[in-house]
Amino acid sequence: MPPLDPRTTIGHLHLKVSDLDRAIAFYGGVLGFELTQRHGDEAAFLSAGGYHHHIGLNTWASRGGNPPPPGTTGLFHAAILYPDRPALADALRRLLNAGHPLEGAADHGVSEAIYLSDPDGNGLELYRDRAESQWPRNTDGTLEMGTLPLDLNALLAEVPNQPA
């Protein structure tokens, strides 16, 4: 079988949440996505830059529910790609200003990432990719990704000068 067309992307994230207002407050208020549509207390759609939606949230089968217990299958994390390092720095600033806990941060060589969970326990990776020309490679040309500490203070130094 031939490989998948390289122009293929993953479109949007749709999450079951237990409290729609709390989820909107996190994805909209903390991370900065804009609310594009809301269907009462059952569903909401948020985006960046006016797109119809990057994130869907619903309580159809999860209102008041609990996160899945450890040791069960399901989503490990969803990854939100930021366009550049200053935008990722702004995301970190927003999280810290909101007092939202981080679960980790890493420099993978090809990308820099911040790891956390949303208020419903859904794992999130906020990351930015490096240019492909900067990706670490072995002598045979294959990728040499790793997990090194990410200097959060150096990242914060790149926050754009704009209000939260």
- pLDDT tens column, 91-136: 999 999 999 999 999 999 999 999 999 999 999 999 999 999 999 9
What's the confidence (pLDDT) of residue 85? Answer: 97
pLDDT confidence of residue 74: 86
pLDDT digits (tens, 9 = 90+) for 75-94: 889 999 999 999 999 999 99
- What is the residue type of 160? P
Instruction: Identify whether 69 is part of a domain.
Output: no
Identify whether 20 is part of a domain. Answer: yes
Nearest of 90, 115, 118 to residue 32 by alpha carbon:
90
| 153 and 111 co-located in one domain | yes
Residue 154 — very low, low, confident or very high, per pLDDT cuts 50/70/90? very high
Rg from Cα positions in the chain: 17
pLDDT bucket at 163, cuts 50 / 70 / 90: low
Q: Predicted confidence band at 161 (pLDDT cuts at 50, 70, 90)?
A: confident
Residue 162: pLDDT over 80: no
Query: Is the residue at 4 inside a domain?
Result: no
Q: At residue 49, what are phi and psi to the nearest 5 degrees? A: 70, 20
Residue 72 counted as domain residue: no
Beta pairing, strands 13-16 & 55-58:
parallel
Alpha carbon distance 106, 26 (integer Å): 22
Do residues 18 and 87 share a domain? no
Mean pLDDT of the chain: 94
Other CB atoms within a 10 A radius of the CB of residue 162 amount to 7
The parent domain of residue 102 ranges over 77-164
Residues 42 and 87 grouped into a single domain: no
Residues 6+ apart with CB under 8 A from 162: 90
Q: Are residues 45 and 121 both part of a single domain?
A: no
For residue 164, pLDDT beyond 70: no
Count of all residues that appear for the chain in the document: 164
Residues ≥6 apart with Cβ < 8 Å to 101: 116
Do 27 and 90 lie in one domain? The reply is no
Q: What is the pLDDT of residue 160?
A: 83
Q: Is 27 in the same domain as 104? A: no
